[in-house]
Structure 1
Amino acid sequence: MEGMMAGFKLSEADALLPPQRPRRLMVLCCEVFTRESYLRAAHSPLTVDVELLDKALHDTPLDLRKRLQERIDQVDAQRYGAIALVYGLCNVGLAGLVAREVPLVLPRAHDCITLYLGSRQRYDEEFQSQPGTYWYSADYLERSQHKLTHDQPPTALGASSKLHATYEELVAKYGEDNAQYVLEVMGQWTQHYRRAAFIETGWDIDGEAKRRAAEQAKQHGWEYKEVSGDSTLVRRLLEGDWTGDDFLFVPPGMAIMPTHDEAVVGASTPEEVNAALA
């Protein structure tokens, strides 16, 4: 099978789907989608097992890839018909993952923001109209370990927890002479943003996450906007509705390859992927 590189055509996607929907699905899920994934699993026509992975793995793509590959390798092919990944490409953290005996299925998405917004089209529209946007959601904030303060960057969609290092942590890692400089550089992060957008997913029961996001926007002089979320991609992924061009099906023996085009990801041989990533 030819690798799906930059020349992959989205119209070819259906040809790579399994002949029939599997009865049992293993879901490997970033913990920021805990609530949505369990909800969709409960209503899925498939038998769905969900396993959560720490969102902090997003900060270190190689660790994310290693952890996911370990879990993929452990999935029982006699028990599961497919493995669904509730992830975007995530800083190429999923690039190079190999489907062993069980095929992989994942959304064609750059990161979790696409999954929250419901489609690549909406993701593209938002980023083209407002590229300097800092994204929030209740699900993401409640899984953050750091409090939102004016002096430190807030945890937001796609943001690295490395930005939240305290002065003491920086001294321990870089030495006292360099710690202050690093803090000053980190303090410039706000210059790249003009808007804070809170994605309404329905899980901010008491409104606390929304208030925290609005407060941060005010402190940093950003426009604040609330946008509606759309769980379509997560729902379809866990229901086994993978037709069309929204999902990538990776057959056994193939690997996930970034395509650097509208498809976002494709499937290719492990050798081709490793050569491209080298």
Structure 2
Amino acid sequence: MSSIVLACRTIEDEVAKAVEETGVDYPVKWVESGLHNFPDRLRNTLQREIDDISNVDTIILCYGYCGNSLLGLKSASARLVVPRVDDCISLLLGSYRKRMELSRETGTYFLTRGWLVNENNIVVEYQRCLERFGEERARKVFRTLLNHYRRLALIDTGTYPLDDERIRRSCGIMQELGLMPCVVQGSTEYLRRLLTGPWNEDFVVLEPGGTLTFEDFMLDVSESISGLSLFGFGKGGAK
């Protein structure tokens, strides 16, 4: 049985580690990370990638629901396998339930190094705001944007050093803006299961000719602000 992986570069550290840990030899096609801010563009890009793939039995998508981005995807010749999560935050935390539990504790922004590699991240946007408006106004703007959030949660997936310069700088800026940095445990376990199977109820397995629908994900996304839509970060429930 032949397989291929489509993965977002935002989680490149974690996908690469999962491939190494499992020993699978599937080819991986990387998709631009910034597209998750534009669901229609991401959907169209993924569909083009799927349409260009031939002679495989299974296409593994390292994506979650991602704010409607996967709805409508289909393959005429291969089955699609997708983790049944709202977005890659839940994927890296291990489950949608764990993400919701952490989010309910206090308003939380989630972060991994992968989000900081994306050019549209908190450091870049804050620097742009500083250059355009000056420090006083920039701080006011960002504190307003982050008003309902209390902490910045770095997801430790074990795939990168926690003292990475981009991480330290981002945590420092967010702390100045009123968010307390913390570390929460993540893993590549969900990704490993995605790559190797067997695929249980934690996954959507769509046979050739089927179309991905909201019902396939069986999620209550009313409490989940998916999308990594603000400066490349993932947002948890605000309080």
TM-score, structure 2 normalization: 0.78
Question: Shift in Å at residue 212 of structure 1?
Answer: 2.2
Instruction: Report the counterpart of residue 139 of structure 1 in structure 2.
Output: 114
How far apart, in 1, do the equivalents of 2:170 and 2:204 lie? Answer: 33
Q: 1:92 to 1:147 in 2, by over 3 A?
A: closer
Greater displacement, 232-241 / 255-264: 255-264
Question: Shift in Å at residue 185 of structure 1?
Answer: 7.0
How far apart, in 1, do the equivalents of 2:42 and 2:214 lie? Answer: 16
Give the alignment partner of residue 76 of structure 2, picking from 100, 112, 120: 100
How far apart, in 1, do the equivalents of 2:216 and 2:15 lie? Answer: 28
How far apart, in 2, do the equivalents of 1:261 and 1:56 lie? Answer: 23
Question: Shift in Å at residue 216 of structure 1?
Answer: 2.4
Greater displacement, 37-46 / 91-100: 37-46
How far apart, in 2, do the equivalents of 1:143 and 1:105 lie? Answer: 26
Question: Shift in Å at residue 220 of structure 1?
Answer: 1.1
Identity of matched residues, %: 31
Question: Shift in Å at residue 262 of structure 1?
Answer: 4.6
CA contact (8 A) 1:40 1:239 kept: no
The reply to whether residue 51 of structure 1 matches residue 29 of structure 2 is yes
Question: Shift in Å at residue 98 of structure 1?
Answer: 1.3
Q: How does 1:113-262 map to 2 (within 5 A)?
A: 113-130=89-106, 132-144=107-119, 146=121, 148=123, 152=126, 188-205=144-161, 206-242=163-199, 244-259=200-215, 262=218
How far apart, in 2, do the equivalents of 1:166 and 1:222 lie? Answer: 18
Question: Shift in Å at residue 62 of structure 1?
Answer: 0.4
Larger radius of gyration: 1
Deviations 1:172-197 (A, max 9, x none): xxxxxxxxxxxx87763111211111
Q: 1:207 to 1:165 in 2, by over 3 A?
A: closer
Question: Shift in Å at residue 41 of structure 1?
Answer: 2.2
How far apart, in 2, do the equivalents of 1:253 and 1:260 lie? Answer: 15
Q: CA RMSD in A?
A: 2.8
Instruction: Report the counterpart of residue 26 of structure 1 in structure 2.
Output: 4
Structure 1 spans left out of the alignment, 5+ residues: 1-22, 154-163, 169-183, 266-278
How far apart, in 1, do the equivalents of 2:69 and 2:76 lie? Answer: 18
Q: 1:106 to 1:165 in 2, by over 3 A?
A: farther
Aligned residues: 214
Q: 1:97 to 1:262 in 2, by over 3 A?
A: closer
Instruction: Report the counterpart of residue 268 of structure 1 in structure 2.
Output: none
Q: Secondary structure at the match of 1:259?
A: helix
Question: Shift in Å at residue 46 of structure 1?
Answer: 4.2
Greater displacement, 114-123 / 48-57: 114-123
Question: Shift in Å at residue 231 of structure 1?
Answer: 1.2
Instruction: Report the counterpart of residue 66 of structure 2 in structure 1.
Output: 90
CA contact (8 A) 2:91 2:191 kept: yes
Structure 2 spans left out of the alignment, 5+ residues: 133-139, 222-239
Question: Shift in Å at residue 145 of structure 1?
Answer: 5.0
Instruction: Report the counterpart of residue 174 of structure 1 in structure 2.
Output: none
How far apart, in 2, do the equivalents of 1:85 and 1:262 lie? Answer: 17
How far apart, in 2, do the equivalents of 1:233 and 1:50 lie? Answer: 17
How far apart, in 1, do the equivalents of 2:26 and 2:155 lie? Answer: 26
Q: 1:52 to 1:264 in 2, by over 3 A?
A: farther
Question: Shift in Å at residue 49 of structure 1?
Answer: 0.8
TM-score, structure 1 normalization: 0.68
How far apart, in 2, do the equivalents of 1:116 and 1:138 lie? Answer: 12
Give the alignment partner of residue 67 of structure 1, picking from 33, 38, 45: 45
Q: 1:44 to 1:224 in 2, by over 3 A?
A: closer
How far apart, in 1, do the equivalents of 2:5 and 2:116 lie? Answer: 22
